Amino acid sequence: MTTIATRQQLSVVMLGSAALLLVWIPMLGVVLPAGADNDRWWQCWDLLELLALGVGGVLALRRSSSAVFFAVAAATLLLIDACVDVGTAWVDGSQLWRAVAMAAVAELPLTVLCVDLARQSAARYPAGRALLAI
């Protein structure tokens, strides 16, 4: 099985990303346009990403089988975040370059890393190996 990085490296990346979100979430109140109705929704979504990345990273460091669930949750949240960001910016047009850059540099690569961690975590257990064979 080819992996992108070791389980420990991936968990450190997840924890580092969660730490960056601790700074990013309050900044959303400043970055989003004044009076934007959706600013709280974005902050809540990023909080969910922070929780999935943080808990998944800790569980992966502890070599817990539960890390797979949080890694899959984080990957799903990040992928949806990237798609919605680009989709809404595409309609507006004013922030398209920023949304595409964020998706290309942060959200999509981190999604791939989370999927790799989930795959590594699942492969360590008989039930996980059976799922990977499907």
- The per-residue pLDDT string of the chain (134 residues; one tens digit each, 9 = 90 and over) reads 556 778 888 999 999 999 999 998 888 777 766 665 666 788 889 999 999 999 999 999 998 888 999 999 999 999 999 999 898 887 767 778 888 999 999 999 999 999 999 888 887 776 656 555 55
Residues whose CB is less than 8 angstroms from the CB of residue 46 and which lie 6 or more positions away in sequence, other chains included: 21, 24, 25, 28, 81
Entry pTM: 0.86
Distances in whole angstroms, Cα of residue 15 to Cα of each of 33, 63, 95: 29, 14, 28
